């Protein structure tokens, strides 16, 4: 968030899952960007400032733990990610 903003991290129990929610008040994403964010090597950053592997690695880790990830984003308003991981207790 180059212009500043707020990041909120929250957790909660959601049925048989533990939910991790990360939201921000940044610039958000267009629908086109949102469709590609989990593709390896996709980035919106300038050359030399990112590999485009972060979210694809995160999704791989979540998938390997039989979890789920969802994203809601509105251009100009911010983004919210929710990660659900099984609560095996």
pLDDT at 47: 87
Tokens 């979540």 belong to which residue?
Answer: 62
**Distance between CA 89 and CA 83 in Å, rounded?**
18
Instruction: Please say whether the beta carbons of 37 and 85 come within 8 A.
Output: no
pLDDT at 89 over 80: no
Q: What is the DSSP string of 55-71?
A: HHHHHHHHHHTT-EEEE
pLDDT number for residue 48: 87
Check residue 4 and give its pLDDT: 81
Per-residue pLDDT, 50: 82
Q: Each residue of 47-72: pLDDT tens digit?
A: 888 888 999 999 999 999 999 999 99
> pTM of the entire structure?
0.89
Share of residues in the chain with pLDDT > 70 (%) = 99
């Amino acid at each position: 968030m180059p212009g500043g903003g707020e990041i909120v991290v929250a957790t909660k129990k959601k049925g048989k899952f533990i939910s991790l929610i990360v939201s921000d008040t940044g610039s958000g994403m267009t629908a086109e960007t949102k469709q590609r964010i989990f593709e390896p090597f996709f980035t919106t950053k300038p050359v030399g400032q990112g590999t485009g592997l972060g979210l694809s690695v995160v999704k791989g880790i979540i998938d390997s733990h039989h979890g789920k990830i969802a994203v809601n984003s509105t251009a100009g308003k911010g983004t919210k990610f929710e990660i659900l991981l099984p609560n095996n207790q």
